[in-house]
Chains A and B, each alone.
Chain A
């Protein structure tokens, strides 16, 4: 079956390529689902929700050393402002995050991790980087030998938007 398909590749490369693409798309999505499930399990094991984990990462991974504002965090998490506020409230109550007045702008509140939050995030991040080192080559390998790969850049329809469900990735 496959051999036949291969032999007509030159004449019907488009159709065959799409069939291969679908196998790879499926492998890719299955890989993503397993990664996200694995991530949820790791996060639960340290007593946090996936949304809390993503909040801590959004705070620690924010490029400004002063820390992000609520608005910044809402942007990273793709959630609405009020959802970000509630998520931060719960993380503050859990002793993982603290609010601080901005040194320059007294009206602005910036978020920082507590020592406990930083510690839990560090453990999770080490595991996640290891897992991604395993996963990334597999994901990339899915495209090897495939036909005219689409240009990796090109902004045409980049996904974007906001969401009201903190950390709900599936």
Chain B
């Protein structure tokens, strides 16, 4: 096990603090827009999935790391709010896909605009932890491991 230095702990802490602040802030943005954080994330899946036909419930569950039946219930609530609608697939009638309504579209667009800035800052913070220094350390470590075979 490679010895860790103080700076690595400090950077990792700084990243996790930032991540907590971001998630808290995001929840507040969703709440201000009249949505629960889960509803906001569902709208983002419907908007962000590249397939223009919209995601299936299975895809929603996979992106949100929730169970299928939880995704169904979440979709029910968001549909009742008039933000999405269910469409039967053209190719396969058994597959239901989710699409945004006009209102849902507007709602998610407003939230996304605010999130872009914050998310780019967070990506930069993640890069700082894993950044050039970390990459160099890892490379040196790797080289050292190769030159001195033995248990890590």
Contacts and interface: CB of A to CB of B under 8 A. Distances in A.
Interface of B: 1-2, 4, 8-17, 19-26, 28, 41, 44-45, 47-50, 52, 63-65, 108-109, 112-124, 126-127, 129-131, 134-135, 138
B24 A159 contact: yes
B24 A129 contact: no
A91 to B, nearest CB: 16
A37 B52 contact: no
Contacts of A132: 12, 15, 126, 129-130, 134
Given A29-B41, A156-B117, A158-B21, A125 B12 contact: yes
B134 A133 contact: yes
Contacts of B21: 78, 158-161
Contacts of B47: 22, 26
Nearest to B52: A1
Classify the secondary structure of A's interface with B. Answer: helix
Contacts of B127: 136-137, 139-140
Given A26-B49, A125-B4, A126-B4, A152 B12 contact: no
Nearest to B18: A159
Interface stretch (A59-67, A82-90, A93-101, A104-112): A59-67
Interface of A: 1, 18, 21-30, 32-34, 37, 54, 57-58, 60-63, 76-78, 122-123, 125-126, 128-130, 132-133, 135-137, 139-140, 142-143, 149-150, 152-154, 156-161, 163, 169-170
Contacts of A33: 63-65
A44 B13 CA distance: 19
Given A54-B16, A61-B14, A126-B1, A152 B45 contact: no
Given A18-B109, A159-B118, A29 B24 contact: no
A74 to B, nearest CB: 12
B126 A135 contact: yes
Contacts of B49: 23, 26
A166 to B, nearest CB: 11
A169 B19 contact: yes
B133 to A, nearest CB: 11
Given A135-B130, A142-B123, A61 B63 contact: no
